[in-house]
Amino acid sequence: MGILVKDDSDYNSLLEILSKQLNINLMSTCLEIKYQVKNNYPPMKITDNGNVSFYLELKMNAPDYTIQDKNQQMHQDQHMRLAQQVKKGKEQLSDVINYATFLNNEFTHDEDKVESNFKDDNVITDTRHREIKEGQSYKNKTVLKSVLSSFAIHNHFQFKVRRSCERQYFLSCLDTNCTWKLNATRKGTSQIFIIRKLNINHNCSMVVRTSDQRQATSSVIGGYIKSKYTNLKIVYKPADILRDMRDDHGIKMSYSNAYRSKVVAQEMLRGKPYDSFSLIPSYLYMLVVANPGSFVKLELKDANSFLYIFMALNASIKEWEFCIPVIAFDGTFLTSAYGGMLSTACAQDGNGKIFPLAFSLVDFENDESWEWFMRRIRDAF
């Protein structure tokens, strides 16, 4: 059956027309409108005015598009006849529903299938999973690799990657004569990896198994130790990582690997230092929104690179007139990836206590940066 719609129809009018034609009550029934662009294409949904205009646009450009003469108005009795036909043709209606269900089942995206599989308890999504078995499914290759690295570390052996591609992950023990082997392949078109074959027994020597742990990469160790960096007060140095990895997991690792692991762990928690610089403008904006009357200034070297930043909170600016009129300046170098210097201006309040007035972050301690800081102090106070 066919219906006529105005070429300026919107979503609601389309819903109304369809509900009348199908003789359903929109208050109690949820109507989903879908169409197919071509055979074997997944159905497209119409959910708003934009979708309706897109659909009409598409139809108008189609070679078999039928236009009703605008002068020719459909007579009331034609409407009646159509309505009666619809009532008679209940089978037709069920055909439409069946077809819609068929399309929905047939063309659901693979990604959707993967998503629904995640709800399946059998798919391993947690990289802290400790047991490996033949037949296990993993959310994707990254999870599988991470679980296997940890597994090797915990079970004191090392593996060699024989083949690693989009479809396969094939490992053997580091000792070529050893029987330990694992073969995992991708499940169909999904991202899921399944362990197809696993020989869990080793017959290699302990010498091979206890030499330097190659699975202890900075990203694996970084994942282990990242919880240590959630508390800013705890100092956890590369030497501590070396000691803990040796005592807790029996891993011998180099200092440079421990240092890299520390950097990776901090990046996992706080992101890359490089990216933090791009947050400065929004940080300053929020600082002024949250503390109206504050004075902030960002100085750039060129359009895209950071030079200086200055901030004095409204509370400090207001309090300044009650302070002893002497300002003390000091600076300290920073140990982050990009170095720099933090300079501060302090005064003494009426109670004789140190009162912070302003902060600034500059590239180096030199005449230019101090002068810039002094000038901003004059602007602010």
Which residues lie near Zn ion (CB under 5 A)? 173, 178, 180, 202, 204
C-alpha 343/C-alpha 330 separation (Å) is 6
CB of residue 133 vs Zn ion: minimum separation in angstroms?
18
How, if at all, do strands 33-35 and 324-333 pair? unpaired
> What's phi and psi for 32, nearest 5 deg?
-110, 125
**Shortest spacing between CB 177 and Zn ion, in angstroms:** 9
Give me the count of residues in the chain.
381
Shorter beta-carbon distance to Zn ion: residue 173 or 242: 173
Least separation in angstroms between residue 206's CB and Zn ion is: 10
Nearer to Zn ion, 173 or 311 (CB): 173
User: Of 132 and 178, which CB lies nearer to Zn ion in the complex structure?
Assistant: 178
Alpha-carbon distances of 141 from 26, 165, 170, 346, rounded to whole Å: 46, 10, 11, 54
Q: Least distance (Å) from Zn ion to the CB of residue 129? A: 21
Cα-Cα end-to-end distance for the chain: 78
Q: How far is the CB of 215 from Zn ion (least distance, A)?
A: 13
What lies within 8 Å, CB to CB, of 177 at 6+ separation is 203, 204
In angstroms, give the least distance from the CB of 204 to Zn ion. 3
Q: Which is nearer to Zn ion, 86 or 204 (CB)?
A: 204
**Beta strands at 295-302 and 181-186: parallel, antiparallel or unpaired:** unpaired
Phi, psi for residue 361 in degrees, rounded to 5: -120, 120
Q: How far is the CB of 250 from Zn ion (least distance, A)?
A: 16
Residue nearer to Zn ion on the CB measure, 125 or 179: 179
Q: Is 128 or 163 the residue whose CB approaches Zn ion more closely? A: 163
CA distances from 337 to 215, 242, 274, 301 (A): 27, 22, 9, 19
Instruction: Return d(Cα 332, Cα 84) in angstroms, integer.
Output: 86
**C-alpha–C-alpha distance, residues 216 and 198, integer Å:** 22
Residue with token string 């005592």: 247
Q: Output 59 or 202, the one with its CB closest to Zn ion.
A: 202
Q: How many CB atoms lie within 10 A of CB 140?
A: 15
CA distances from 336 to 197, 235, 292, 342 (A): 46, 14, 30, 12
Q: Residue 169 or residue 180: which is nearer to Zn ion going by CB?
A: 180
Q: Give 34 or 202: the residue with its C-beta nearer to Zn ion.
A: 202
**CA distances from residue 333 to 236, 302, 330, 339, 343 in whole angstroms, order as listed:** 20, 23, 10, 7, 9
The first and second tokens of residue 245, run together, are 């990895």
Supply the minimum distance, in Å, between the C-beta of residue 175 and Zn ion: 5
**CB 180, min distance to Zn ion, A:** 4
